Structure 1
């Protein structure tokens, strides 16, 4: 359960996302009649209207975009759960919050023991900041140096956090790109219906094929817009957790340190 909820495993979520995408396509294939308007727009299930298409259903551009969209949703889910886990840590009261408390050196080992196993290289903003600040203060006996180390650590964590969204940013870019490629292919197929040697051209079929060719771009833009919205909401939530962790450490640890204590 921890690999799905508290700290999701990305590879496991990737597999489940692909499975969910396949089930989504299969369900719509059963519910939407082939050649119907909804099936044409959403799935490109269009054997009657586009007999010259090189794609054999279900291997269509739309379905490829659906699979990538669900992979993106899986990435969003992973980041959302990690963000909520970080927010929960900020509410655990890992540090004394009473304004009258002054922390002396003999108080710090117990606090460090409380957070030592609560973080790793990727997760646990607040415990890692607390542990690092305590180590720096005990080594230097300087509050100023401790503040400097905390600020540097916050910058590094913020950069690392931004890198975690590289895959999502790529998916947000690649889905519309695939949609545009599908549109270009559709226009090319429509142009193939033109017979220079014929006296009359099948204008109705050409117009219909041109209309269908833009559906891939329509679907791609809608899915990309959804992913961009979710990505920004979740990233803001995760960055908020980092900001709160820094403020909490500054308020309840660094501002309470007493360099002269023994």
Structure 2
């Protein structure tokens, strides 16, 4: 995903460089810079496309998790009570669905059923489900670690571009005999404007990514919480154990 979206970012920079007028190119890609096409702005766009692609993938994953809740793995009739003989067919259906190792809900159901078949204890099933949900929440957090780094990296690149641009502008103004040129002020302020515009673009990119990331991460966390609630309501609280502690 990172390789593909990185190439998309490179292609986007190439399109900008070929089609944008000079004033827009200075704002977005610094086409007149000394290091172009290896400018800071181009690296920012590549990083932005990589992060956007990863966020799109995470959004699809969250939608897939929410769809699992509508597949009816467990009986949802409030009058239904699950006995030990009912768990085997449910387990097989979950495992045959192809998502038993990928999505939250099938993983929770299959682990809880296995735990109950081993221990015949609803309490141990509940403990296992809580531990599994904690691990899944940590798994979600780890998935967003690269995105958090990119969201931090883009403004950093913008500030690096600004500092570099200021240095180049001052070096240009300090060249011998340059102070006598009537266009010196216009040239220096133009270079400084490009540098500060790069920081502005970086901050806008970071704001967009942070907003999008919060939406997607919240959606995944809601999917996990809904999966745990579904498993608790329709599996843990439905299993019948007789007074002797044996599954019915």
Give your verdict on TM over 0.5. Answer: yes
Considering only aligned residues, what root-mean-square deviation do their CA atoms show, in Å?
1.7
Alignment partner of 1:99 is 2:75: no
Q: Which runs of 5+ in 2 are unaligned?
A: none
Correspondence for 1:171: 150
Aligned residue pairs, count? 240
1:156 to 135, 139, 150: 135
Q: Whole-Å Cα distance in 2 between the matches of residues 43 and 158 of structure 1?
A: 39
Correspondence for 1:54: 34
- Preserved contact between residue 154 and residue 206 of structure 2 (Cα < 8 Å): yes
Q: Which runs of 5+ in 1 are unaligned?
A: 1-12, 47-52
Are the structure 2 counterparts of residues 40 and 197 from structure 1 closer, same or farther at C-alpha, using a change threshold of 3 Å?
closer
Correspondence for 1:14: 2
**TM-score of the pair, normalised by structure 1:** 0.86
2:103 to 100, 113, 124: 124
Q: Whole-Å Cα distance in 1 between the matches of residues 176 and 17 of structure 2?
A: 39
Alignment partner of 1:66 is 2:41: no
Shift of 1:120: 5.4
Deviations 1:160-187 (A, max 9, x none): 1110111111110111111111100000
Correspondence for 1:226: 208
Q: Whole-Å Cα distance in 2 between the matches of residues 225 and 189 of structure 1?
A: 28
Q: Whole-Å Cα distance in 2 between the matches of residues 208 and 135 of structure 1?
A: 68
Q: Whole-Å Cα distance in 1 between the matches of residues 122 and 65 of structure 2?
A: 26
Deviations 1:203-257 (A, max 9, x none): 2222222222112211111111111111111111111110110000000001101
Shift of 1:37: 1.3
What SS does the corresponding residue of 1:97 show, helix, strand or coil? coil
Q: Whole-Å Cα distance in 1 between the matches of residues 133 and 107 of structure 2?
A: 10
Are the structure 2 counterparts of residues 120 and 44 from structure 1 closer, same or farther at C-alpha, using a change threshold of 3 Å?
farther
Are the structure 2 counterparts of residues 189 and 160 from structure 1 closer, same or farther at C-alpha, using a change threshold of 3 Å?
same
Correspondence for 1:245: 227
**TM-score of the pair, normalised by structure 2:** 0.91
Q: Whole-Å Cα distance in 2 between the matches of residues 192 and 68 of structure 1?
A: 29
What SS does the corresponding residue of 2:161 show, helix, strand or coil? helix
- Preserved contact between residue 108 and residue 132 of structure 2 (Cα < 8 Å): yes
Please identify runs of 4+ aligned residues in structure 1 that moved more than 4 A.
196-201
Deviations 1:20-43 (A, max 9, x none): 21221222222213xx21110011
Per residue, is there more helix in 1 or in 2? 2
Deviations 1:47-98 (A, max 9, x none): xxxxxx431x222111111011100011101111111111111111100000
